[in-house]
A = this chain, B = another copy of it.
Amino acid sequence: MTSSSRAVLAPLYEQVRNATLALVAPLAPEDCVVQTMPDVSPTKWHLAHTSWFFERFVLESALARSYRPFDSRYEFLFNSYYNAIGPQYPRHQRGHVSRPTLREVVEYRRHVDRSMRQLLEEAPADLVESHAFAIELGLNHEEQHQELILTDIKHVLCTNPLRPAYAATPAVAGTETALEWLPFDGGLIELGKDGAGFSFDNERPRHKVHLENFEIASRLVTAGEYLAFIRDGGYRRPELWLSDGWSACQREQWFAPLYWVSTGDDFTMLTLSGARPLALFEPVCHVSYYEADAFARWAGARLLTEAEWERAAASAPVTGNFVESGFLHPMPSARVAGAAPAAAQLFGDVWEWTASPYLPYPGYQPFDGAFGEYNGKFMCNQLVLRGGSCATPGRHISASYRNFFPPDARWQFSGIRLARSPHRAPGAPA
């Protein structure tokens, strides 16, 4: 980042931090404490953790002893997983912690914001510059937590028998779109973030991968298509499933995507705006990798690899209805504001499970220091998701961004795009 760091970062800091708080506006303090499963973190925890990130990695480093931490005990409570920093409060018990209260956490945010503003506005340029990366990382980090706040509060609200809504939603009229198969040439392509500018360490280095020709679906799998899978016995036919997937399916008694509620012969869908009937033309959402994989097998197709996905995303111009389908997720930046996500959801953009385990790219170098724990240590037992969802801040929608979750995760805004290899024999399925 150049000497204009101050000019760029100061307004961005305000924007991102405000956007986070805006997400909390519709919530009661009680909503912000609850942890409905180990993967979910309380909203309050997200608010505090993202502030701690700036406190610990920027303020304490840049201002040293002249910075007074808000409460020294917060490090134990709000350090997520940085072993290099110190021990952490157990993740699965985050919902046991009533104090600090939401109000106290907001005060904590203000304390950090005041100091950050002071740093960004008044500190010597070289001090700002030397912390520009940490600040930029902190802002990207905060945006990741903005999506998690929405994802987690959806679980909190939707598993409540009273089914409260997060926000009202405008009516949406979906329409059917025919699925087309878009062909892409293979060959030796390049994968990974190129050039300068911020990126996460897991997006680099750019490297060569050999691909065969492939075809991808012009749009995501819809709820209606997924319903056909269910009605064809998809959840009762082990031959469609990976072995671990079938175990998960039986152990967890899956019968439909998360948040689909059986109402006799039909389904109701729980959303951030409450329960509503299935919208058959919307993309199916809240499926695990196991379900995405089983659906693809049922459909006689397969999931994309992340190299295929990135190849397709980087290709221009694109044939067919590719752009219209939202593949590149050209979400309005307004989405980061609090009111929009539930509405955006309705537009049907979801993370796309790929068939690619989350691995380091060849020559991968983790960030330095404690930041090295940001991504690298999670490169096992997870699958890559690409694209971005209706809950993803716009700056995170990019062709090289790599999201990742374990194959049984369903509470994310995750869906399915199909792929296939060309030159199939006539009469082959799909």
Contact = CB atoms under 8 A, between A and B. Distances in A.
Interface of A: 28-36, 44, 71, 73, 76-77, 81, 83-84, 89, 93, 95-103, 156-157, 159-162, 164, 188, 207-210, 212, 238-239, 241-246, 289-290, 293, 355, 357, 359, 362-363, 372-373, 377-381, 407, 421
Contacts of A244: 378, 380-381
A100 to B, nearest CB: 7
A238 B359 CA distance: 19
Contacts of A379: 242
A283 to B, nearest CB: 23
A44 B30 contact: yes
Nearest to A43: B98
Contacts of A76: 161
A407 B421 contact: no
Q: In the complex this chain forms, how many copies of it are found?
A: 4
Contacts of A290: 380
A30 B142 CA distance: 23
Contact of A362 (B28, B156, B363, B421): B421
A377 to B, nearest CB: 4
Given A212-B363, A239-B84, A241-B377, A96 B160 contact: yes
A159 B98 CA distance: 10
A242 B89 CA distance: 19
B34 A98 contact: yes
Contact of A33 (B33, B73, B157): B33
Nearest to A241: B377
A215 to B, nearest CB: 13
B162 A100 contact: yes
Given A77-B161, A407-B381, A97 B241 contact: no
A157 B99 CA distance: 8
B380 A96 contact: no
B212 A210 contact: no
23 contacts: A28-B98, A28-B103, A30-B44, A34-B96, A71-B162, A73-B162, A77-B161, A83-B238, A89-B161, A96-B160, A97-B161, A100-B162, A207-B212, A209-B210, A212-B362, A242-B377, A242-B378, A243-B380, A244-B380, A245-B380, A289-B380, A290-B380, A363-B421
A135 to B, nearest CB: 24
A99 B246 CA distance: 29
Nearest to A74: B162
B34 A97 contact: yes
A99 B274 CA distance: 14
A378 B243 contact: yes
